[in-house]
Amino acid sequence: MFQLSLSRKIINKDKVGMIDKAFPSLGIESFADLGGVWRVEGAYTFHALDKHGVKNAALVDLHLTPTVVDRAKSHPQLRLINGNFGSQAIADEVGEVDAVFLFDVLLHQVGPDWGTILKMYAKNVRHLLIYNQQWTGSDKTVRLLDLGEKEYFRNVPHSRRVEEYKNLFEKLDQKHPEFDGPWRDFPGIWQWGITDADLESKVAELGFKLVSKKECGKTGMLPNFRDRAFIFSRQ
């Protein structure tokens, strides 16, 4: 994975490349960037707004930062939506757009799960731009917590010392202090190992065909994940 570091931001060239390929070739004029804030401050949203003729955009995240709020002021066609994009109310607020970006977010979604989220948004969009850490450790998609503590920490890029992951297995059934649910469903931790076959068949079931797929390299040092970029369009 080729990454460019701009001050504190990590901008991924494959995600930018996917936007620059999809917007002109598929005629995308409106989009929603679901979970576009952490560490990148909405960089993919602002890239799309600055480089492509966009009429309507939404950036949704559980945490909007002052930098994002400030930068959004110069983009009147951008709506900032603070909340869980897995809630139907937020999906309704996003409404119909040409495309959604799901960059590094699908593997975190449990309640509702990643497949249900795809279904919720698929009916309102024509294109899905997905960049995800894909599971290569087995033929079947796995819920990472089900691997047990030792295997879980062998397969995620965070140590037990990181705040969210401290004593994780002891607090799985406790209510998360901010999220409306238990720690085991919290989207701030790694949740799923999704296989290509399961992602592609879920999206096909929703009426989309694969337009392009790019192998983007290893996910850090993880033995069982590969970064991949997918563009799907409604049939």
Ligand X SMILES: C[S@@+](CC[C@H](N)C(=O)[O-])C[C@H]1O[C@@H](n2cnc3c(N)ncnc32)[C@H](O)[C@@H]1O
Which residues of the chain form contacts with ligand X (CB under 6 A)? 35-40, 60-63, 84-86, 103-105, 108-109, 187
Which lies closer to ligand X via its Cβ, residue 105 or residue 120?
A: 105
Which lies closer to ligand X via its Cβ, residue 103 or residue 192?
A: 103
Spatial neighbors of 38 by CB under 8 A, at least 6 apart, are 61, 63
Task: Return contacts of 114-121, CB within 8 angstroms, 24+ apart.
Answer: 114/192, 114/194, 115/202, 116/86, 117/85, 117/86, 118/202, 118/203, 118/206, 119/206, 120/86, 120/88, 120/91, 121/32, 121/34, 121/91, 121/94
Spatial neighbors of 68 by CB under 8 A, at least 6 apart, are 37, 41, 42, 59, 61, 80
Please give the residue whose beta carbon sits closest to ligand X in the complex.
35
Q: DSSP code of 158?
A: -
Which lies closer to ligand X via its Cβ, residue 98 or residue 104?
A: 104
Residue 163 near residue 85 (C-beta atoms within 8 A): no
Which lies closer to ligand X via its Cβ, residue 203 or residue 216?
A: 216
Closest distance between ligand X and the C-beta of residue 99, in Å? 14
Closest distance between ligand X and the C-beta of residue 139, in Å? 26
Closest distance between ligand X and the C-beta of residue 212, in Å? 18
Which lies closer to ligand X via its Cβ, residue 55 or residue 63?
A: 63
Closest distance between ligand X and the C-beta of residue 83, in Å? 7
Closest distance between ligand X and the C-beta of residue 90, in Å? 7
